[in-house]
Structure 1
Amino acid sequence: MDAKIENIPSCTIAYMRQTGPYGTTNVNVQLMEKFKCWVKANHLFTDQSILLGIAQDNPAFVAPENCRYDACLVVPDDYRVNADGVKLGNIRGGRYAVFKVTHTVEAVQRAWGEVFLQLENEGFTLDETRPILERYTVELVNNHTCEICIPIK
């Protein structure tokens, strides 16, 4: 799996949050589907839309029932949310190692098991001050892929 290095700009996001274990249930998938319905109902989905999935907590240090997952949409800086359950936030930009992955449960789980070792082997250090992103664009989804974006120093 090859990584490309990309400078992802800082951005404003609209998001919905789920708290609970990662990966063992489909609640995060359900959250993303609910969020996509909100995005479409509010006419925010275009060919240039960028959806993000953000696991906010490291389950090695945070109890599974307290792990936070955000389903996000990059929005204009002046966007105002007028919906219950949708909040605004910001992502600080910087250098990321970007891995393109087939968008299946198996491929994404395999990628999560490999990306950190690959980064270490290539001499990169994880920047723990910024979130790891799962990025989805229309083009990626149409090609049954997504990107795992790991912040690096």
Structure 2
Amino acid sequence: MDTNIEIIPSYKVAYIRRTGSYGSENVQMMKQLESWAREENLLNESSIILGIVQDNPQFTESKDCRYDTCLVVSGEFKVDNKYINFGKTIGGKYCVFKISHTVDAMQKAWMEIFPELLKRNYEFDNRRPIIERYAMQMINKHYCEICVPIL
């Protein structure tokens, strides 16, 4: 896993929220957002899709865990679809883990990121959510990123 520190800006996003156990349903929701974005001609080589893990399943019942699938949009973008919400992410300092874009690599990374933070003496900032970042340029090369907020 390649790792670096990055200051990630606040993004304006169009998003769909799902409540329930994290897993394969989140992948289906990502496909739904991508389909909508294609219909609206919003997907291109510079597009960024985010998966935002809003709750820690160690502290929140799995049925109540929230996951947002987001498309980064421009400031003047307006949403007129009742299933698409509009919001803004919280920027800041993140430890960014670049990983292969496969189910196995994602599962392995989720198991390794917190021990890796400890090993590098980075302190997790639990006031901000962890972000899965899928930049189209990286996806085309079969990579994605898990961005963990740090202090």
Structure 2 length as normaliser, TM-score? 0.97
**What residue in structure 2 maps to residue 2 of structure 1?**
2
Query: Mean alpha-carbon deviation: is it higher for 77-86 or for 105-114?
Result: 77-86
**1:108-119 correspondence to structure 2 within 5 Å:** 108-119=106-117
Find the counterpart in structure 2 of residue 52 from structure 1: 50
Could you tell me how far 1:32 is from its partner in structure 2? 0.4
1:1-153 aligned within 5 A: 1-23=1-23, 26-153=24-151
Q: How far off is 1:137 after superposition?
A: 1.1
Q: Which runs of 4+ in 1 moved over 6 A?
A: none
**1:36-75 superposed Cα distances (whole Å, 9 cap, x missing partner):** 0001111111111100011111001111111111110111
Contact 1:91-1:130 at 8 Å conserved across structures = no
CA positional deviation for 1:124: 0.6
Name the SS of the counterpart of 1:5 in structure 2: strand
Identity %, equivalent residues? 47
For 2:98 and 2:38, locate their aligned partners in 1 and report how far apart those are by CA, in whole Å: 25
CA distance in structure 2 between the aligned counterparts of 1:86 and 1:4, rounded to whole angstroms? 32
Whole-angstrom distance in 2 between the partners of 1:115 and 1:58: 14
Question: 1:78 Cα deviation (Å)?
Answer: 2.4
Aligned counterparts of 1:124 and 1:109: Cα–Cα separation in 2: 21
SS state at 1:33 partner: helix
Structure 1 runs not aligned, ≥5 long? none
TM-score, normalised to structure 1, is: 0.95
C-alpha offsets along residues 88-135 of structure 1, whole Å, 9 cap, x if unaligned?
111111111111111111110000010111111111111111111100
SS in structure 2 opposite 1:111? Answer: helix
Give yes or no for contact 1:5–1:96 (8 Å, CA) kept in 2: yes
Does the Cα contact within 8 Å between 2:2 and 2:99 map onto a contact in 1? no
Distance (whole Å) between structure 1 residues aligned to residue 147 and residue 137 of structure 2: 16
When the two structures are aligned, how many residues end up with a matched partner? 151
Whether contact under 8 Å (1:52, 1:73) holds in the other structure is yes
Say whether the 8 Å CA contact 1:131–1:151 is kept in structure 2: yes
